[in-house]
Amino acid sequence: MVTRRDFLHQGMGLTAAGLLATPLIGCAARNTHTVAAAGSIVHTAKPSSHTAGHAKNKAAAAAAADTAPAASTELEPPPDIFDAQALDLEFWLKPRVLDVTRPASGERAKILYWKDGQVIDSAYQELCHLMRDVNGKETAPIDPKLFETLWGAQAFVARYGIEHPLEILSGYRTPTSNRRLIEAGVPAARQSLHISGQAADIRIANLNEEVLGGLVRSFRQGGVGFYYRSGPRGGWIHADTGLKRTWKG
Ligand SMILES: [Zn+2]
């Protein structure tokens, strides 16, 4: 269980690392390209002679100075991330509502599943049903810690005005379903934590994989897989409650 202080600290670390600083909405690839391009312009301004080099360096410095204010304006985190403990307390103590969809089945539900420090059992059952194996048509108990991670991610970005439902691309998987995915060439581990109800593949519309994955990783609750994909819907993030590890798939 991540503490409130840890969470805020991690959230701030995330901001400092520039993950939250990249615009939350938009194409991740495009943002990365912009940053990479700007960086390479400065780096490629190599001096051809000492004097010219000096001038060029000055020009590069000026260019950097020109871009710095714009960048820092863009990188400025919303003030509430540095807000007092009071807001932080409120974040963790408020009732937890998960707004989820299952694109595979077309279901959508907004479920209040945690209140006054307790998981609401009927809501938990409903969430487990939503996280079921849609292909194998089987429901299994889901690790409650996983809901904490999913809720934390959704509630955190909601503070930035991103209130899209959390898309559950895959939750629980029967061993048979998991094997079929592997046979079909879909990235899935043989001993997948999806089989034990400890993993979910998730996406939040318009939120890039880097930010969502970085945020989930900051919870330090388990494994995080970054699945980058081009295309209008982008990739997804695998989150589980197993060992802490990160990978790109
Ligand atoms: Zn997964």
Whether residues 57 and 172 share a domain: the answer is no
Calculate how far, in angstroms, residue 243's C-alpha sits from the geometric centre of ligand 1. Answer: 14
Whether residues 63 and 93 share a domain: the answer is no
Calculate how far, in angstroms, residue 239's C-alpha sits from the geometric centre of ligand 1. Answer: 7
**Crossing angle of helices 121-130/144-158, nearest 10°?**
90
Calculate how far, in angstroms, residue 238's C-alpha sits from the geometric centre of ligand 1. Answer: 4
Residue 93 located in a structural domain:
yes
Residue 170 located in a structural domain:
yes
Residue 22 located in a structural domain:
no
Q: Which domain holds residue 191?
A: 4-17+80-248
Calculate how far, in angstroms, residue 40's C-alpha sits from the geometric centre of ligand 1. Answer: 35
pLDDT in tens, 205-239: 988 898 899 889 888 889 999 999 988 788 999 99
Calculate how far, in angstroms, residue 165's C-alpha sits from the geometric centre of ligand 1. Answer: 18
In this prediction, residue 6 has a pLDDT band, given cuts at 50, 70 and 90, of very low
pLDDT in tens, 63-121: 444 433 333 334 343 333 323 233 467 777 889 999 999 999 999 999 999 999 899 99
Whether residues 115 and 59 share a domain: the answer is no
CA gap 103, 165 in Å, rounded: 11
As for how many domains the chain has, the answer is 2
pLDDT in tens, 41-77: 333 333 344 444 444 444 444 444 443 333 333 434 3
CA dihedral 209, 210, 215, 217 (to 10 degrees): 100
Whether residues 228 and 147 share a domain: the answer is yes
CA dihedral 25, 30, 36, 40 (to 10 degrees): -140
- The sign one gets for the Cα dihedral 196, 110, 137, 121 is positive
